[in-house]
Structure 1
Amino acid sequence: MTPKKSISAASRMAVLAAAVSAATLLGACAPLIVGGAMVGTALSVTDRRTSGAQLEDQAIELKSINRVREAAGSESNVSVTSYNRTVLITGEVPTEAARVATEQAVARIENVRATVNELAVMGTTTLSARSNDAILSSKVKAAFVDAKDLQANAFKVVAERGTIYLMGRVTEREANRATELARATSGVGKVVKVFEILTEAELAALQRK
């Protein structure tokens, strides 16, 4: 039987390898990045969002592509991540006007319930920095997978310039535990919580469905 520690290490390496591969592809991609809902995969079965919310999140991210590009301009690097219709906007834009216009463009998309604007007014980051962010988010996800007291699929992790943004429908205990693990991950400079907090009773009801 393979020792539990070896399995954990292997899972980390697999996740990090996937992150490096994804980061390598950034050079051929447009500056705009969308989070992408995992609809149609096995993970969607255990997702705490309804199937309708998962589809709406995917639609929001897809619709944001052209709208954000028009609002922010070609000199921007913007990432849009929707979770249960709350939209996190991260990245860099050249002016404050572009920052405001980008959030307004996203807020007008159908089914968007709320926006969290974390755009920085500055020059766009390098490919190397984005690759590091991809690896960093994968390290945090691996820490969640290794934790015995968390359901890793309940969280969406976004990394931007060394800051980790955590999204999900979680209890206060889960939020605190995930934040603790993310902060303890090497390379993480700051953790920002963008959670929808559930009571323990609400979580129990979700798990019975």
Structure 2
Amino acid sequence: MKQTLNRTLCSLLAAAALAAGLSACAPLVVGGAVVGTMMAVDRRTTGTQVEDEGIELRSANRLSELLGDRGHVNVTSFNRQVLLTGEVPSAQDRQRVEQVVLGVENVRSVVNDLAVMPPTSLGQRSNDTFITGKVRASLVDAKDLSASAFKVVTERNVVYLMGRVTPREAQRATEIARGVSGVSKVVRVFEMLTEEELRNITPAPVVQDAPPASTPRN
């Protein structure tokens, strides 16, 4: 039981680091060499990551001017593809929001999944955040996936998965998310890669000479 709790705690902590956009390096000694391994490697270029952050900020500012307190809209950009989730008062507002975001610099496309309904309660949003954490922790715990390749968004118990992934990774992550308690539906907003494309964008591990072993003194 203690081992299971420790494993779960480690997964949740790792997921929290991913959620905050943190990355860490850990040295791994293999055959007398030190291999630098990245725990969180983003498959976007650094420039694209900056663009995505700018898209989210500019979109939020423009939507605040458009809607004020009349709606609750989350803007999530990954590789310049924007996902819109949340609630707006009318179908006209739903369309206006999409057009405003499409007009933001560097936006490539928009997936509009806004619901026409009153804004959700604070309790629902807190539950969505909790579900997101559980899904991320489950992805971290999966040994056959790179959890940092995925962005997870939850809205009204619906989990949205974003990322640049292969079909195998997409299917595996979907199965994992569906198995998390509280998830009512999984929506995939992926950019698909072939296995060859993935190999081309995955950096090779940095190998350095291991420091010489200390000689015991007589």
In which range does the TM-score fall when normalised by the shorter chain?
0.7 to 0.9
1:109 pairs, out of 104, 107, 126, with: 104
Structure 1: unaligned runs, 5 residues or longer: 19-35
2:23 maps to: 42
Contact 2:14/2:140 (8 A) holds in 1? no
CA distance in 1, matches of 2:13, 2:121: 25
Contact 1:80/1:90 (8 A) holds in 2? yes
CA distance in 1, matches of 2:12, 2:140: 12
1:79 maps to: 74
SS at match of 1:156: strand
1:65 maps to: 60
Aligned length: 188
CA distance in 2, matches of 1:84, 1:168: 8
1:14 to partner: Cα distance: 4.1
1:10 aligns with 2:9: yes
Q: Which has the higher helix share?
A: 1
Q: Which amino acid aligns with 1:10?
A: L
CA-to-aligned-CA distance 1:6-27 (integer Å, 9 cap, x gap): 43221255479x6xxxxxxxxx
1:163 pairs, out of 143, 155, 158, with: 158
Change (3 A) 1:99 1:140: same
Contact 2:52/2:77 (8 A) holds in 1? yes
CA distance in 2, matches of 1:70, 1:93: 14
- The alignment's TM-score, normalised by the length of structure 2, stands at 0.80
SS at match of 2:114: strand
Q: Which amino acid aligns with 1:7?
A: N
1:90 aligns with 2:89: no
SS at match of 2:186: strand
CA distance in 1, matches of 2:163, 2:196: 17
Report 1 or 2 for greater relative contact order, CA contacts < 8 Å, sequence distance ≥ 6: 2
CA-based RMSD: 2.2
Whose radius of gyration is greater, 1 or 2?
2
Change (3 A) 1:75 1:104: same
- The alignment's TM-score, normalised by the length of structure 1, stands at 0.84
2:181 maps to: 186
Contact 1:72/1:99 (8 A) holds in 2? no
Matches within 5 A, 1:14-25: 14=13
1:126 maps to: 121
Q: Which amino acid aligns with 1:42?
A: S
